[in-house]
Amino acid sequence: MNKPNINVTPLIDVLLVLLIIFMVVSPLKPSSFKTKVPSEPKNNKNLTDNPYTLVVTVNSDSTLSLNHQAVGTTNESAALVALLKDTFAARIANGNISESFGDDPERPMSDRIERTVFIKAPTTISYGSVARVVDAAKLAGAYPISLQIDRLD
């Protein structure tokens, strides 16, 4: 009587097909996150503030200020949205083009003006309050929105 033999050819065919499928699918998964990490300034003595910088400060009593101008609270951010929209409209009228983000292909607006907004908040403020401020800046058309993390208390 003959001994039964295991035919491994179909098994190898199936494994090769699976290997090819995994090789094709693996480059499709995201492999990195897009971030911009600032470099250390080379000369700290001659630093000047950019005149187009917009900093929204959340104070410890939940009041908001845009470049040291009071604009409401974290719960009532309509004044902040209106002031940011007015600022962006004035920049469009003046033709102020962003040097860093004007040619960004992922930019949600068709204009090329500077729309960067920094949000600065103390660590004692709740996450929800800061999230409402970020949402208000998005609603006004800010891009990109950055959280200022230097000199944290």
Count of domains observed in the chain:
1
Highest mean pLDDT among 74-83, 111-120, 140-149: 74-83
Q: Return the higher-pLDDT residue of 126 and 50.
A: 126
Does 109 reside within a domain? yes
Does 66 reside within a domain? yes
pLDDT category at 35 given cuts 50, 70, 90 is low
CATH number, residue 69: 3.30.420
Q: Domain range spanning residue 112?
A: 54-147
Does 30 reside within a domain? no
Q: Is 10 helix (H, G, I), strand (E, B) or coil?
A: helix
Does 20 reside within a domain? no
Per-residue pLDDT reduced to its tens digit, 41-96: 676 666 566 777 888 988 888 889 888 888 888 888 888 889 988 988 888 888 77
Rounded Cα distance between 129 and 136, Å, is: 11
Position 16 scores a pLDDT of 95
Rounded Cα distance between 82 and 64, Å, is: 13
Does 19 reside within a domain? no
Closest residue by Cα to residue 135 from 60, 84, 68, 92: 84
Position 115 scores a pLDDT of 81
Does 84 reside within a domain? yes
Q: Is 59 helix (H, G, I), strand (E, B) or coil?
A: coil
Label residue 151 exposed, middle or buried (CB < 10 Å: 0-12, 13-18, 19+).
exposed
Does 60 reside within a domain? yes
Position 101 scores a pLDDT of 61
Polymer length in residues for the chain: 153
Position 19 scores a pLDDT of 94
Position 126 scores a pLDDT of 86
Position 34 scores a pLDDT of 65
**Contact of 113 with 92, CB cutoff 8 Å:** yes
Buried b (16+ CB within 10 A) or exposed e, 25-42: eeeeeeeeeeeeeeeeee
Does 45 reside within a domain? no
Q: Is the pTM of this model over 0.75?
A: no
The angle at the Cα of 108, spanning 95 to 28, to the nearest 5 degrees, equals 140
Average pLDDT of the chain?
80
